[in-house]
Amino acid sequence: MSKRLIIGLTTGAILGVFCIIGAQVRFGATLSAAYLFSFWYNRVIMGLVIGLFASNYKLRVLLLRGAIVGALVSLAFYSATEFNDLVGFLAGIAYGVIIEFVLYKVVK
């Protein structure tokens, strides 16, 4: 596995934990473990997808790509919630940008 892929997966997993915390704060203890796992796993998949892409672009292109990939990957989870978690969807876009930025800074 490449360094970019490993760091993308790790960053996605860490951001997934923040998603779980955020979801619990927003919705209280009413969310199932399966829901929370799916939320976390969505962020791991985001890190995987972003980590697979090449990094030989300018930063603004990478950040735009991160936002687009974040939106596309998050759309899968957002649609599974019957479009009830807009904050989670928007966070996915931001997390896509964060993952690309981390990869840009760490993997040269």
- Show the 3-state SS of 16-33: HHHHHHHHHHHHHHHCCH
Residue range of the domain that includes 48: 3-106
Write down the pLDDT at residue 54.
Answer: 86
Query: How many domains in the chain?
Result: 1
Q: Are 106 and 7 in contact (CB under 8 A)?
A: yes
What residues contact 48, with CB distance under 8 A and at least 6 apart? Answer: 5, 8, 9, 12
- Ordered mean pLDDT values, 10 residues apiece, the chain (108 residues): 93 96 87 91 97 91 96 95 92 97 92
pTM summary value = 0.93
